Amino acid sequence: MNTILLSFVPLLFSSLVSSGFLEYDQNVILPQDWTQAGRVDPSEQLELTFALKQQNVDLLEETLRRVSDPDSPQYGKHLSLQEVSSLVRPSALTQKVVHRWLQTHGISNCRTVHTQDFLQCSTTAEVAEALLPGSRFHRYVRNGHSIVRSSSPYSVHNEVHQHLDFVGGLHRVPPREKDANRKGPRSKAGAHLGVTPAVLRTRYNLTANDVGSAENNSQAVAQFLEQYYHPADLAEFMQMFGGTFQHRSEVDRVVGTQGGGKAGLEASLDVEYIMSTGANISTWVFTNPGRHETQEPFLQWMVLLSNMSDLPWVHTISYGDDEDSLSTAYMTRINTEFMKAGVRGLSLLFASGDSGAGCRHLGKENTFRPSFPASSPYVTTVGGTSFKNPFKVTYEVTDYISGGGFSNVFKMPDYQVSAVEGYLKSVKATLPPQSYFNTSGRAYPDMAALSDNYWVVSNRVPIPWVSGTSASTPVVGGMLSLINGQRLSRGLPALGFLNPRLYKLKGPGLFDVTEGCHLGCLDEKVQGQGFCAAPSWDPVTGWGTPNYPALLAALLSQ
């Protein structure tokens, strides 16, 4: 499947109703480009995911801070999956109440995960509608694909609500595929040769010796919504563009099921470029189509991370969704899942998006529109840049599509307060009106890389002018994997959650990007412009782009 932040409607418990059930405040987003094909048969088998309330979430967050802060005595002392499970496992009461509730409705075909905080259960539509009053399941179709979702809000018994964060598989539909962009050349046709692995390695000062060698090192990309890579494309790409550095031409492990049909441009881009900067490093592909029409692929990936003890150290994900289209309950729980990954020493990198600051139209007023998970305080978010001179490997400026801004949901984490306040103060005179953004929210991106005019091989065809932060994210991920390899070979722990350390570096190891602005609302007040780059950190390119040898030296110090 394709990866865009996707198909789940987390539930926010709000008001009791007279029947003894608690109704959820839900983002019921009805399919606009999906065609309703009618109610499903009562005997239709559905798959639902129940997110059980976890214990010790505050302690989990404090543990993440300690193991990620280079000034902490606990820095790098990451937890095992078993230790994470012992920390967050739902209480015996929560497990008992939820299991009893399901069993009372005859639901017993359930799978759990190592941390016991997710249950995935099979049941019929008839039973699901009785379990979740108000739900009405229909089948929807689009471009030959089919999903099953409920078209109306639902509730759960009021004795159960305090033991669940949300139920996945009911409402939210996958957005239309947001594949990597084809911008077309910015100069006359044929004049720009485009970004290739050699161009990236030149710009970011990677030598032929900067390839992976540690046996216990690995990296991964995650794909959703029927986005697949083709092994033949990867082999041809490396034959064309990998001649100057030692590399691998095969993915070592695919987790999930690779579908047939055409390769996706997004999947091809992700795999080919993480294996170009993270050269000669074992690479995994998580492909998450979902086993059933009611399953939500991004959620399936999160569940997998909670159930696998042996995982790559770096994961890059090139998709997101508008923050306002997701419920706070859902995003809060997903943040907890990100924290669970971080305390285990995993680095999660998300693309910042390709809509600049975004724009949300609210009556006569507009505001910028942040993206999630880019706005999560617990992931490293990657923005995009372009070459100043499109004909040469020069310094970089802002790519106008680079996503960035301030969360409207999550407060600014302590690790970035100083940097963000410094930016807001230094550019105060030229900032967009404060009604457009939340100055106290989590600000992103954290860093950036080239995102403009890439060459990709997809379906055995070399394709030029592919652009987007879905390119810059695996490029950064590959370089962090190289640094992990160097750390592991010296007996140091993996980088894990990078942000606290990145913000304490305050720029060394990165090329500062100080020119250019990204997109904003097309109105009289901001006239299509969002935020602009500035010295040090900014909400367009973060701290800048990697200068690999300097960044390696800075991140090998501890």
Q: Give the residue numbers annotated as catalytic, written as ranges.
A: 266, 270, 470
Helix or strand holding residue 462 (H, E)? strand 461-467
Q: Where are the beta strands (DSSP E) in 358-416?
A: 360-362, 365-367, 371-372, 380-387, 396-398, 405-411
Q: Is the dihedral of CA 213, 217, 222, 228 positive or negative?
A: positive
How far is 401 from 452, CA to CA, in rounded Å? 9
Cβ pair 382, 476 in contact under 8 A = yes
What lies within 8 Å, CB to CB, of 188 at 6+ separation is: none
Residue 2: CA count within 13 A, CB half-sphere: 19
Burial of 145 (0-12, 13-18, 19+ CB in 10 A): middle
How far is 130 from 137, CA to CA, in rounded Å? 12
Burial of 508 (0-12, 13-18, 19+ CB in 10 A): exposed
How far is 292 from 353, CA to CA, in rounded Å? 28
Helices (H) and strands (E) in the chain, counts: 13, 31
Residue 493 one-letter amino acid: P
Residue 555: CA count within 13 A, CB half-sphere: 33
Burial of 152 (0-12, 13-18, 19+ CB in 10 A): middle
Q: Where are the alpha helices (DSSP H) in 1-80?
A: 57-68
How far is 156 from 129, CA to CA, in rounded Å? 11
Residue with tokens 């920390």: 87
- Cis peptide bond prior to 445, omega within 30° of 0: yes
Residue 390 one-letter amino acid: P
Q: Is the dihedral of CA 90, 92, 98, 102 positive or negative?
A: positive
